[in-house]
Structure 1
Amino acid sequence: MMSTTQPMQNMGALSHLRVLDLSRVLAGPWATQNLADLGAEVIKVERPGSGDDTRGWGPPWIRDDKGEYTHDSTYYAAANRGKRSITVDIASAEGQKLIKELAAISDVVVENYKIGDLKRYGLDYEALSAVNPRLVYCSITGYGQTGPSAHKPGYDFVFQAQGGLMSITGERDEVPGGGAQKVGIAIADVITGMYASVAILAALNHREVSGRGQYIDMALLDCLVALGGNQVTGYFSSGKVPFRYGNAHASLVPYQVFQTADGSMVVAVGNDAQWQKYCQAIERPDLASDERWIKVTGRITGREVLIPELEKTMRSRTSASWIEKLEAFGVPCGPINNYQQVFEDPQVTHRQLRVDMPTEDGGSVSTIASPLRLMGTPVQYQRPPPKLGSSTESVLKTLLNKTDDELEAYRHAKVI
């Protein structure tokens, strides 16, 4: 039996799969980058001349071999590692034919066009599954394929508001700086990309049983609402609408930011045993033995009395001093790092979470490593974020057997 830690001849877990990526911006590209990291061949189809919208979302920009800024943004680089880029005008009849030919030899199609757009081009699931019944076809839209809002465009900021996330993010209205806040990343797009990856893999697995692919309808609003599972389930049970706790936790106390003698830090007491250890570490046996605080329920209902006592004690030492002392007692805690500090953290360095890749023009780009750690088929970083259309000729020649004359005719007609 093969060792669970022995790579399987440097194969990716999905190296037997081909993905046709018709998506752009973030949610779709995030999903297809996951598949590419796992070894799938991902062919990114872009608009001739301009490509993915995010290529122009700079600064910051990727640098070339001379250290000069290119026309591709780091935003684009963050979600398009591991892919090959081809340019095809899908509004043209010849372009549509090329996409159908590629779909016929692909396992997955991912797209995020507005509802009805690809049907108009003859590239919807019904059309492509007719030429490839085993095709898994994933559509990503803001509101899904059905419902009264299905026709609307969708943006992360809107979904963070409409989907409830901003109602529980930020400080309470009555405290300084209070009010609804968005999460600092495009969480609706990222979480939809992750859910889409799971759905695609599930459909591929079922294909092994049924012999057929299927259609997947992914919506950013659905995924953002699903992200609120803990709070929403509590609301369903109690009827009480969740509200903003700032950096505190609705169900755990203390679980928040504390000001220290030289800044601030996080303490995350996750259970009653850790509460006792925390009290030992901060030398507050009076709090440890107080019947009001022994159980988490009492700490939750009495937080307005308890927290000021803890705040007073936490301000007596520096953050570094507290972290050393709390960790010695096994109490979860940590500094509040900016991203420079994150990538100076010994654990982050050890886990090699920064990946430096040479670009196609001789420059370099740094991206964040995939957190998917498969021991037998490890993630590999074989392709940098591609230049626009850099693989058009090789893909059409190798996969579709197009001749030089045919390629020249496509160029002349501006199909590619």
Structure 2
Amino acid sequence: MTRPMEGIRVLEVAQFTFVPAAGAVLADWGADVIKVEHAEKGDAQRGLLKVLGLESASEGSTFVPIMEGPNRGKRSIGLALEKDEAREVLYELVRSSDVFLTNFLPDARRRLGIDVDDIRAINPDIIYTLGSGFGPNGPDAGKGGYDGTAFWARGGSADGATPSDSEFLARMPGGAYGDNIGGMTIAGGITAALFHRMRTGEAPVVDVSLLGVGAWATQFNVNLAMMMGGPLPKHPKKMPSKNPLTGVYQTSDSGWIQLVMLQPGRYWEEFVTAIDRKDLAEDPRFASADLIMENADAAVEILEAEFAARTRDEWVEVLGEIEGQWSIVQNAWDLAQDVQLRENGQIASVVDAEGVPRELVASPVQFDRKPLEITRAPLFAEHTDEILLGLGKSDEDLINLKIAGAAT
């Protein structure tokens, strides 16, 4: 299996999902990722006992999906960086690392001695990478942000996903939604920086903000608004259609089918024939693309009745072989069972700390069309001794570090 990041060491001083997700992707690609956690508290995300109103782990198990996803494949060391002894250990790791990855805020970075100048004074060739809420400059550079604030709310997605006649603001469709997108973005930035270093010998600083990722995700709307010189018009929940082959139709069992056939003239005859309404292909109201769009309201009314007469699974069978673009609307469980994901190795197998087989979503990039092989996330400070011994520390050194409260 191709592992393009083999031989690259990533030193991660980060919490929650946004930046750790980048470390997980790099670990998927073969990097040795050392996760530095506070010697007593660990990654703050380990303390989340409930997620989306549900228990974060099953009883009697160490397998916690909110930790496994953004931390699989890493090694964990517990260091109290506020102590000089722990900071010296960190600096030793810096000397042998290619990438330093953090999401700590500016004040914390300065206080702990892990800001850009601190790290590059020790290793000028390291790729210093910072994931932030709002970027390194401007009035909010020192402000913390989560994907719910910087990416979803401020980044334009929440407004764009909320119809004009909605009583409520749309919520993110999944936990750590923007964090995972942002983590993938950071991983890409790091690989580009490593490539630049290889070609030129220069090690650039990499910055990725959740706000910037949010703006990139909504760039079509943002760019259009800038061209228009003001906010875009808001649309109601049920938008008037100019193309009956683009839109969402509800099935008899309350499922949904999304149609996105942007060329109605091209796909109309095939579509109506597939749904046993060949008469619509001969209907003069729908004799051309222009007429289909002119009479879209009438076509939508007909199609709504057709879709409401069959179940979602029946529609999957009916539409299975047509050329036009469509999809069922899936929930999280549906997606986990999606044959396309599984046939392409996008659901990966892991074994948890208790030896129980588990599954996780794989990061989406593959090499040579082969599924990624991943391992579980580390338990808190699981590899402290292994990492310290790898630095040449003696057993006595380990004991002294632990007595001082510098390492766990």
For Structure 1 versus Structure 2, the TM-score category normalised by the shorter chain is 0.7 to 0.9
Tell me if structure 1 keeps the 8 A contact 2:345–2:371: no
Q: State how far apart, in whole Å, the 1-side matches of 2:316 and 2:331 are.
A: 17
Q: Which residue of 2 aligns with 1:335?
A: 328
Q: Which residue of 1 aligns with 2:143?
A: 152
Instruction: Report the secondary structure of 1:394's partner residue.
Output: helix
1:82-101 → structure 2 map (5 Å cutoff): 82-101=73-92
Q: Which residue of 2 aligns with 1:4?
A: none
Q: Which residue of 1 aligns with 2:216?
A: 226
Amino acid at match of 1:45: V
Instruction: Report the secondary structure of 1:102's partner residue.
Output: helix
Q: State how far apart, in whole Å, the 1-side matches of 2:88 and 2:6 are.
A: 26
Question: What's the offset of the Cα at 1:278?
Answer: 2.1
Instruction: Report the secondary structure of 1:145's partner residue.
Output: coil
Q: State how far apart, in whole Å, the 1-side matches of 2:221 and 2:302 are.
A: 27
Q: State how far apart, in whole Å, the 1-side matches of 2:240 and 2:127 are.
A: 40
TM-score norm. by structure 2 comes to 0.88
Q: Which residue of 2 aligns with 1:106?
A: 97
Q: State how far apart, in whole Å, the 2-side matches of 1:134 and 1:267 are.
A: 49
Tell me if structure 2 keeps the 8 A contact 1:262–1:319: yes
Q: Which residue of 1 aligns with 2:385?
A: 393
1:5-404 → structure 2 map (5 Å cutoff): 7=1, 12-59=3-50, 60-62=55-57, 68-70=60-62, 73-159=64-150, 160-173=152-165, 179-185=168-174, 186-239=176-229, 241-244=232-235, 246=237, 254-272=245-263, 273-282=266-275, 283=277, 285-286=279-280, 294-295=288-289, 299=293, 304=297, 306-375=299-368, 379-381=372-374, 383-398=375-390, 400-404=391-395
Q: State how far apart, in whole Å, the 2-side matches of 1:266 and 1:351 are.
A: 23
Question: What's the offset of the Cα at 1:107?
Answer: 0.4
Question: What's the offset of the Cα at 1:44?
Answer: 0.3
Tell me if structure 2 keeps the 8 A contact 1:356–1:367: yes
Tell me if structure 2 keeps the 8 A contact 1:27–1:192: yes
Compared with structure 1, are the counterparts of its residues 345 and 153 closer, same or farther at alpha carbon in structure 2 (3 Å cutoff)? closer
Q: State how far apart, in whole Å, the 2-side matches of 1:247 and 1:402 are.
A: 66
Q: State how far apart, in whole Å, the 1-side matches of 2:242 and 2:282 are.
A: 19
Instruction: Report the secondary structure of 1:147's partner residue.
Output: coil
Q: State how far apart, in whole Å, the 1-side matches of 2:38 and 2:282 are.
A: 64
Q: State how far apart, in whole Å, the 2-side matches of 1:163 and 1:297 are.
A: 38
Amino acid at match of 2:28: D
- Equivalenced residue count is 397
TM-score norm. by structure 1 comes to 0.86
Q: State how far apart, in whole Å, the 1-side matches of 2:306 and 2:372 are.
A: 46
Compared with structure 1, are the counterparts of its residues 414 and 208 closer, same or farther at alpha carbon in structure 2 (3 Å cutoff)? same
Q: What's the RMSD between the two structures over aligned residues?
A: 2.8
Task: Give runs of ≥4 in structure 1 deviating > 6 Å.
Answer: 247-252
Amino acid at match of 1:56: G
Q: State how far apart, in whole Å, the 2-side matches of 1:98 and 1:325 are.
A: 63
Compared with structure 1, are the counterparts of its residues 266 and 100 closer, same or farther at alpha carbon in structure 2 (3 Å cutoff)? same
Structure 1 unpaired stretches of 5+: 1-6
Q: State how far apart, in whole Å, the 2-side matches of 1:281 and 1:208 are.
A: 55
Question: What's the offset of the Cα at 1:104?
Answer: 1.0
Amino acid at match of 2:210: L
Q: State how far apart, in whole Å, the 2-side matches of 1:36 and 1:228 are.
A: 29
Question: What's the offset of the Cα at 1:280?
Answer: 3.0
Question: What's the offset of the Cα at 1:210?
Answer: 1.6
Compared with structure 1, are the counterparts of its residues 74 and 328 closer, same or farther at alpha carbon in structure 2 (3 Å cutoff)? closer
Tell me if structure 2 keeps the 8 A contact 1:252–1:296: no
Compared with structure 1, are the counterparts of its residues 329 and 99 closer, same or farther at alpha carbon in structure 2 (3 Å cutoff)? same
Q: State how far apart, in whole Å, the 2-side matches of 1:93 and 1:297 are.
A: 76
Tell which deviates more after alignment, 38-47 or 109-118: 109-118
Compared with structure 1, are the counterparts of its residues 408 and 161 closer, same or farther at alpha carbon in structure 2 (3 Å cutoff)? same
Compared with structure 1, are the counterparts of its residues 215 and 232 closer, same or farther at alpha carbon in structure 2 (3 Å cutoff)? same
Tell me if structure 2 keeps the 8 A contact 1:31–1:197: yes
Compared with structure 1, are the counterparts of its residues 309 and 113 closer, same or farther at alpha carbon in structure 2 (3 Å cutoff)? same
Query: Residue deviations 1:171-220, cap 9 Å, x none?
Result: 441xxx55430222232212211111111111111001221212112111
Question: What's the offset of the Cα at 1:289?
Answer: 6.2
